[in-house]
Every structure is written in C-alpha cells, then in structure tokens.
Structure 1
Amino acid sequence: MLIVHYVNAMTWTPTPTTWRAPAPADTMSYPPAEVFAAGLRNHHIANTAYPIAHQQTFKPYRVPRSEHLDVTRAGLSGFENMCLYVHVPFCETRCSFCEYTVVGKDERSHTQVYVDALLREIEHYDQIVDLGSRRMHGMDIGGGTPAFLSVAEIARIMASIHARCSFVAGADISIETTPKIAAADPAKLAGYRALGIQRISMGIQVIQPDLLKLLNRAENGVEHHFRAVEAIRAAGFSRLNLDLMYGFANQSLDSWRATLEHAIALDPEYITLYRMRYKLTRISHQADAVTLDQVRPMATLAKQVLAAAGYHANPGKTTYSRIPGDVGTSSYLARRVQTGIPYIGFGLGSQTFTHTTIAYNDGAAGKTLRPYLDSVAARRLPIQDLYDLPIRQMMGKMCAVSFYFGEIRRAPFLAKFGVPLEQVFAAEIEFLVGRGLMQLDDDALSLTPEGVHAKNGIIPLFAAPSIQGYLIGRDPTVADDLVRNRKIALRVAG
C-alpha cells in the first residue's frame, strides 16, 4: 500500500483577492420575482450547473491562449488549501443521458497513452504552483468510468499525486465504478482499496430493463448489482455510494419507487439522487415531456422512502446518508460545496476553479483525446477555455454548487469574498424568507421543505446578472438551444 503523508488541517482563510471589473451585462439589476419566475419557467437549465449559456455570459471574460500560463499562475497563487480532481474519460458505452466528457469507442484502447499524458500534466502544474506547498482536502477520480482503468494505471496516477501532495487528516480519495465492472473484476476493486482509495461510488441510475435499454445502459442491469456490492465489500470498502436518477420522460412514479427500494436493499452507506439534466445529451429532445409536476412528486417520494429506511438529508441535499454525522459525499465534493475551496482538475475536459478563474481543459467540447494529447506534448497547459471572472460571477458559481447541500454557508462566503451573504443578496433573501422558501440562521441560508420544490427558481437568484437576464429573455417554448445541443451530442457520439 502507498504511504500517504498527512498534514494538519487548519481553518481555511484565503488571502484578500482582487477581481476583474464586470462587463455591462453583469452590472444590471433584476427584480427577484422576475428572476424566480424565469428560473421555474426554464427549470431544465436553471440548476446547479453553472454558468448558463457560457458562450454568451462568460464571453467577455475569456482569456487568450497566449495568456493562459500567466493568468493560471496568478489564479492559483495566494492560498494553501485546495482539492484535486482527476478525470478518466473512458466508458464501456456512452449512456444516452450523459453530458460529461467521454471519448468514443475508437479511443477506448488508448488508456496507457492517456495516463502518460495525465502524469505529464500533473508534473507541469507542480512546476507552476508547487503542489507540495499546498494542503489537499480531498481528491475525486471521476469520469467517465475510472474503473475502466487497470489497477496499475490507477496506481501510476496515485503515485504521481502522493509524490507531490500532502493530504490533511480526514481527507479521502474517491473513485467510481459501474455494476458490470465491479461484479466482473473483484480483484480490481481490491487493488484500488490497497492503493488507499477509501470511498467508492457506483451508478445504478434506474433498474427497469426497458428504460435501461432506452438509455443505452442495458449492460448494467440488476443482474450485476448484488454481486457488485459483494465484491465492493470484499475489497474492504466501508463507504459505498449509489447514484440514482429521476426525471426521465419514460419513468413512472411506481418505477422510481422500485428503483429506490432496490437501492436500499443493496445496503449502501449513501444514496445520491440526480434529477436528469437534458442539456448536451442525446435525449435533450425529451425535455419538454418532463414537467415540474412530474419531478416534484418523485423528489417527495424519494425523501419519504429513504427516510423510512434510515437515510437522511437536509432539505434540498442530493446525497442521503445513513451514518450519523457523515454528510455522505467525498471530502472533495464536501469542501467544494460547503466552502468554495479551489481545486485543480487534471485530464481531458476537467474543470479548474480558483478564487478568480474557471478553466476547462482541452477535449471538453469535442470529447476527443487529440487536443489534450497535443497540448501536453507541446508542454503547454491543456486548457481549452480560461475565464478571468468578476466577483459576481464567482459568487454565482459558489452559490449554485452550494445547492447540492441545499444551503449556502455564511462564514465560508464571507471568508471567500470579504462581504456578508446577506448584504450582497439582501433583496433576494427577503424575497425567499418572506415566502417561506429559505430560512436564515447564524450558520447558513437554507432551503425549507417548501423551497425544495422551487429550487430551479431559487438558484438563479444568486447567479450573475448576465445569467439572470438570459433566463428572463429565454422562452422555453421557442428556444432551440436544447435542439442544437442534441445535434452536438449526437455528432460527438458518432
């Protein structure tokens, strides 16, 4: 087993930060009621994914490639505490609901070439920012399907990280698998656990064979699930999360209940619920068939069924835990959501987030390896798009992601931005608290049970004005962005 060196965790107190000036669209002000209504009207795109319409709302802040190195170095300076994300863009098949960076079948055999490039990227970042001087609060190995890689390939990644980085006490490393891989290769799981990976997440999504077939996921049916969990437990994992999805056009309330009950029977520590997000998927044309009146009862049912089985979450939180005091997510996601901690994303299409910048690696658009491999080979940062953002955009990003936990914590917001949450969003908080949709206490601004069902209207209230204006002007009955996105997804999948 690799030896992991830990350092003591300390309260995260970032140094004072200077942000760039906003574009005119981000100096506007809109009535909370108008923004709230626009979010509900556009509920398929008004969610925790941020930004919305980036080609329009982020365009003024795009950094030329010639300045990537200097802006990246500046963005990653001035703080010690951070997290890491490693992206593995390989899957056995591409699910129809997938919006993430996954390469096509012609590139699935290129895992060794990809890991070679990944290690060179990690080395490059170490030379720029001195990773050894930072305190890492967690690392996720995501995808795609990270378990597509061999134990030896994951070991190479882990060795590179541990040779350069120190993790604070309590920080974990999490990885993802599919039921089929977990059931078929118990030795692989044991190998991952021996490398020091403490947490594993497995995508169940749904269990109905007809729906699995429509989603191009029939190979990961229920016949694998119990053997997969047995293999995970035999490997020594005591922290297992199962992902479930709802909000599909062909999904009934009864079938959703069956999926929930099946997941409970597998006895994981955690269950995470994801509402289907149609943007950039091959089934985005089905979005119009899914209404809030359909998904709200599904969320209510899930809360009831999971609570009866001992799984609990605060209102609006997506991950349910049966372990008292355990939020259920990886420490990477917990720190990212609760404190807005910076992180570096390594690999194809990965996102890097600092106090002032957001970057997306090569391959995020075309979902092919070549741009990423070429950049790494040329010894340049493999960045496709880099944005140097004003404070309101960075606030919008932090707040949107915070709704994974159903709340925005006040102290981390103040520490990150130097201004109280209730001062920046006084009108919005008054609007929400007055309608019983959120509650404000000394710790956080939190969703109420009533607010959970209006989350798509609530999240945009904390977005930058350019995004609010976009939503107000978008009529979902005539908008063609989801159609255009589907064409892109189909072309990429082909």
Structure 2
Amino acid sequence: MNWNPSPTMWRAPAPADTVSYPPAEVFAAGLRNHHIANTAYPIAHQQTFKPYRVPRREHLAVTQAGLSGFEDMCLYVHVPFCETRCSFCEYTVVGKDERSDTKVYVDALLQEIERYDELVELGGRRMHGMDIGGGTPAYLSVAEIARIMASIHARCSFVADADISIETTPKIAAADPAKLAGYRALGIQRISMGIQVIQPDLLKVLNRAENGIEHHFRAVEAIRAGGFSRLNLDLMYGFANQSLDSWRATLEHAIALDPEYITLYRMRYKLTRISHQADAVTLEEVRPMTALAKQVLAAAGYHANPGKTTYSRIPGDVGTSSYLARRVQTGIPYIGFGLGSQTFTHTTIAYNDGAAGKTLRPYLESVSAGRLPIQDLYELPVRQMMGKMCAVSFYFGEIQRAPFLAKFGVPLEQVFADEIEFLVGRGLMELNEDALSLTPEGVHDKNGIIPLFAAPSIQGYLIGRDPTAADDLVRNRKIALRVAG
C-alpha cells in the first residue's frame, strides 16, 4: 500500500474521543446492545461523528485532499431501485413513484463519475475491484449497465486480479436470462443473489413473497446459462419467529442450488420497517443459528474461518468480491458513486445525497448544479478511522496486522494492548503473526468484541444506552425524514 501516514494527517479528536473505558465495561455494553453493536460503523453518528462534520463550502477541498497521496483503490456503484422494498432493508432504495426514473438516474451517475475524474484523475489510480450494488442493480437494463461500465472503463484501469460484481433477485434472474447473459458479456465476473429465507410466512412479513423458492432453481439455471461461474447466495437469520428448523431448511435449500459461495447476514434492525421487532430476538436465540450454519455448511464443503460471513467451497478463494475483500482486509480507500453511496479514504468518510430521505431529488439537484453530490462529509481523527477499519474487518472474523500498520503507522497490538489482553485472556481471540482472529468461542460474543475497537465516543454511547429503549432508532429515522424535507 503506497501510503505513508503521519500523525498530522488526521483531524484532532473531540473530547469524547480522548477518554478511556475498561474493556470489560465496553464488552458488556456491546452484548447488551447486540442489535446495533456490529460491523456497521459508526453507531449513533448524529452524536459520535458530529464534531467532525465538514461544512458544505469545504466539501470540494477536503474531498480532494482525502483522495490524494495514494494510487490503489476500489469503486462502488449504487443502484437504488427495487421492484419492492423488503421490510428488513436498511439501505438507500427509492419509493415506487421513482422506479421509472432509471435513465435520469444513470445520466446523473455518469456526470458524477466524470466530476470525480476531473477532481482526482481516476486514470492515474489502480482499481482493485468494483461492486455494483443496491437496491437491485439487475433492475437496470443491459443497456443502462453498459453505459455505466463504458464510463468506468474509459477512465479506470483495473489490476489483473480485480473483479466486478453485481446483484440480482431470484425473480429477475428467472424471468430474464438474456439480461444476465448481457451483464456477463460486459465483463462482470461475479453475481450475488438474495435468497434470504424460504419460510413462506416469514417471506410475507418481510415483503419478499414474490422472490420465493418457485423462482430459485430457474434463476440459477439462467445465471449459469449466462456464463457466470462465480455465484454467491445471500441468506439471513435472526428474525423474530424464525425457528431453528426453518433456518436449517433455508441452509439446505441454498446448498442444493449449488453456488460457489454462501454469505450469511444476521438481521440488523436499525432503520428498517420491522425495527420494533428487535427486542423479540435475543442472543440466546441467535447463537444456535450461527453455530448451526457453520455445521451445515461445513458438512456440505463450504468453509470459512471463525466469524467470517462468506463461506466458499473453492480452496483459496475467499468468496467475496475483490472490492469487499480489499476493503475489509486492507482498509483500501474507495469511491462510491450514486444515491446514498459511501466514499472512504484514509482520513475521511462521505455519504452521498439521498442517504437520509431515500429519494432521488437531492442527488439529482446536486449533480445538475455541478457539485459533488455529498450529503455529509466527515474528516476524522485517527482513532475513528481505526474503528471503521476494525469494524468491517469482522466480516472476515479477523483484523490483519500488516495492513493496519501500513494504514496507520502504528502496530495494532500497541494501540489495543488492553483490549487484546482482555480478549486473548478469555479465549475470544488469538493473536498470531498475521492477524488478530476470532476463536470459535469468540464468534458468539462478536457483538461485545467489535465495540472494543470502536472510538471512545461510540463506546461511551453504548455504555450509557438503555438497550430496551428503541427511541434512538425512531429518532434517527425521524431526523432522516426531516432532512429529506
């Protein structure tokens, strides 16, 4: 990684990020607040990130500075359209009244890509991967995806082992095999499809009944016929009224579809339409589901190190896209294009217009005015940037030591000496030459472990939060809707 950090590169910390909390207290607070203490970083950003918010008048200069000094990076393209919005969805997806505006959106997206190219010269960077995510990217036509791909390839050079990944639903894949073949012809190598669950009554609750098992085998046939040899299936668990038997059935069904990879997501209730159900799901119910998944998948030849969310049946293949692998393992910077996308550098995090209200208008207006379509930009102290890198590292169940040192100029074991002593002493993580890794025992306490690497302001928030009070989730949602106007 061609990056030489110095202490002066990061923003000075606010008082809330200069305190210290005992590891045992933070660990217990994370377990109490297990529904929000996860890989999503930050927590309660209206409080914990507030001191670092950059005024809009400074967005251009701070963005340009944040994207300078390195050549290696990744790209993310967001497509905010779906046929229906699932009840479990926490992401930026527009409403049904904007679903027909795909051409207008792609036009704006291409203008944003051009604006970033003018600002930071994308052609001078080495791209290590690109994800086209959503929403449902396969909602777009082949011609619309082709326009995006042409714009990227005209400006960007990808390294030899980089890949481009896209997402679809079973219903779209089963109904339009030609679309999938068209995506593959554009050079997209990896495809991910959301199965989530197969329990019929739960599918109805999740507003996902249209993507039931009647589509799944035909969808996989279409994906294979289209030329994709790298297929990932997404499954979800940790829902209210999801039995262990139904979770086993979902796992076995996914295995029968014969994908190369299976990725597991525990339900995160924050800012979803079913957030009120969070208190009905306890750690005691979730832990057996995690253990069962490991057992069933391993027996079928799918493997992952402890705590890793993506299981692969291909030896030596981590299973994720190269974008996600580099983001998680090395903390590589990336630019996010599109509504509500996130851009991450070594010193800044930005969220594009539309992230709050989930509507196209703010994004389209910013692009039309020639601005970078940034809703919120934060220039962060080093401790917050460390927290971000460590949190997402738990997608792989470990924090890589060498990339941490390269990114921050200080060893992981020096920054987190007390936390590592606490975790290793309890058999929850182990420190080896390459990484600080979860043990099988630590997997079940991951929600207590992740906050140990968060910035002190986030730790303090968790310690002081009443986990039985969901009003902070409701308040954040109301704030988002108010910001959207």
Superposition TM-score, scaled by structure 1 size = 0.96
1:350-369 deviation digits (Å, cap 9, x = unpaired): 00000000000000000000
Query: For residue 423 of structure 1, what is the aligned residue in structure 2?
Result: 414
1:169-223 deviation digits (Å, cap 9, x = unpaired): 1100000000000000000000000000000000000001111011000000000
SS in 1 for 2:7: coil
Counterpart-to-counterpart distance in 1, 2:275 and 2:198: 21
Counterpart-to-counterpart distance in 2, 1:117 and 1:87: 12
Counterpart-to-counterpart distance in 1, 2:8 and 2:178: 47
1:441-475 deviation digits (Å, cap 9, x = unpaired): 01000000000000000000000000000000001
Task: Return the offset for 1:296.
Answer: 0.2
Task: Return the offset for 1:25.
Answer: 0.2
Q: Is the 2:41–2:391 contact (alpha carbons within 8 Å) kept by the matching residues of 1?
A: yes
Q: How many residues align?
A: 485
Query: For residue 121 of structure 2, what is the aligned residue in structure 1?
Result: 130
Q: Is the 1:14–1:78 contact (alpha carbons within 8 Å) kept by the matching residues of 2?
A: no
SS in 1 for 2:129: strand
SS in 1 for 2:262: strand
* 1:282 pairs with 2:273: yes
Find 1:170's aligned residue among 141, 153, 161: 161
Q: Is the 1:285–1:482 contact (alpha carbons within 8 Å) kept by the matching residues of 2?
A: no
Task: Return the offset for 1:228.
Answer: 0.1
Go from structure 1 to structure 2 and tell me whether the alpha carbon gap of 1:338 and 1:36 turns closer, same or farther (over 3 Å shift): same
Superposition misfits of 4+ residues, deviation over 3 angstroms: 10-17, 483-494
Q: Is the 1:98–1:281 contact (alpha carbons within 8 Å) kept by the matching residues of 2?
A: yes
Task: Return the offset for 1:480.
Answer: 1.4
Q: Is the 2:356–2:481 contact (alpha carbons within 8 Å) kept by the matching residues of 1?
A: no
Task: Return the offset for 1:17.
Answer: 6.7
* 1:35 pairs with 2:26: yes
SS in 2 for 1:404: coil
Q: Is the 2:276–2:470 contact (alpha carbons within 8 Å) kept by the matching residues of 1?
A: no
SS in 2 for 1:273: strand
SS in 2 for 1:17: helix
SS in 2 for 1:429: helix
Counterpart-to-counterpart distance in 2, 1:114 and 1:380: 16
Q: Is the 2:357–2:481 contact (alpha carbons within 8 Å) kept by the matching residues of 1?
A: no
Most deviating of 238-247 and 13-22 = 13-22
Cα RMSD (Å): 1.7
Counterpart-to-counterpart distance in 1, 2:169 and 2:483: 22
1:132-151 deviation digits (Å, cap 9, x = unpaired): 00000000000000000000
Go from structure 1 to structure 2 and tell me whether the alpha carbon gap of 1:488 and 1:300 turns closer, same or farther (over 3 Å shift): farther
Go from structure 1 to structure 2 and tell me whether the alpha carbon gap of 1:48 and 1:354 turns closer, same or farther (over 3 Å shift): same
* 1:247 pairs with 2:220: no
Task: Return the offset for 1:250.
Answer: 1.5
Q: Is the 1:17–1:355 contact (alpha carbons within 8 Å) kept by the matching residues of 2?
A: no
Go from structure 1 to structure 2 and tell me whether the alpha carbon gap of 1:11 and 1:375 turns closer, same or farther (over 3 Å shift): closer
Q: Is the 2:4–2:409 contact (alpha carbons within 8 Å) kept by the matching residues of 1?
A: no
SS in 2 for 1:137: strand
Most deviating of 471-480 and 281-290 = 471-480
Task: Return the offset for 1:484.
Answer: 3.5
Counterpart-to-counterpart distance in 2, 1:77 and 1:135: 13
Q: Is the 2:356–2:484 contact (alpha carbons within 8 Å) kept by the matching residues of 1?
A: no
* 1:17 pairs with 2:8: yes
SS in 1 for 2:147: helix
Task: Return the offset for 1:487.
Answer: 5.9
Gaps of 5+ in 2: none
1:70-95 deviation digits (Å, cap 9, x = unpaired): 00000000000000000000000000
Task: Return the offset for 1:479.
Answer: 4.6
Go from structure 1 to structure 2 and tell me whether the alpha carbon gap of 1:428 and 1:418 turns closer, same or farther (over 3 Å shift): same
SS in 1 for 2:263: strand
Task: Return the offset for 1:483.
Answer: 3.5
Where does 1:428-439 land on structure 2 (aligned, <5 Å)? Answer: 428-439=419-430
Find 2:399's aligned residue among 399, 402, 408: 408
Find 1:343's aligned residue among 331, 334, 337: 334
Q: Is the 1:284–1:485 contact (alpha carbons within 8 Å) kept by the matching residues of 2?
A: no
Q: Is the 1:145–1:176 contact (alpha carbons within 8 Å) kept by the matching residues of 2?
A: yes
1:119-158 deviation digits (Å, cap 9, x = unpaired): 0000000000000000000000000000000000000000
Find 2:185's aligned residue among 191, 194, 214: 194
Q: Is the 1:284–1:486 contact (alpha carbons within 8 Å) kept by the matching residues of 2?
A: no
SS in 1 for 2:233: strand
Q: Is the 1:240–1:269 contact (alpha carbons within 8 Å) kept by the matching residues of 2?
A: yes
Q: Is the 2:52–2:379 contact (alpha carbons within 8 Å) kept by the matching residues of 1?
A: yes
Counterpart-to-counterpart distance in 1, 2:420 and 2:220: 43
Go from structure 1 to structure 2 and tell me whether the alpha carbon gap of 1:122 and 1:414 turns closer, same or farther (over 3 Å shift): same
Task: Return the offset for 1:279.
Answer: 0.2
Query: For residue 3 of structure 1, what is the aligned residue in structure 2?
Result: none
Task: Return the offset for 1:478.
Answer: 3.2
Go from structure 1 to structure 2 and tell me whether the alpha carbon gap of 1:226 and 1:479 turns closer, same or farther (over 3 Å shift): closer
Go from structure 1 to structure 2 and tell me whether the alpha carbon gap of 1:283 and 1:491 turns closer, same or farther (over 3 Å shift): farther
Go from structure 1 to structure 2 and tell me whether the alpha carbon gap of 1:488 and 1:75 turns closer, same or farther (over 3 Å shift): closer
Q: Is the 1:175–1:201 contact (alpha carbons within 8 Å) kept by the matching residues of 2?
A: yes
Q: Is the 1:45–1:279 contact (alpha carbons within 8 Å) kept by the matching residues of 2?
A: yes
Go from structure 1 to structure 2 and tell me whether the alpha carbon gap of 1:318 and 1:296 turns closer, same or farther (over 3 Å shift): same
Counterpart-to-counterpart distance in 1, 2:272 and 2:482: 11
Task: Return the offset for 1:489.
Answer: 8.5
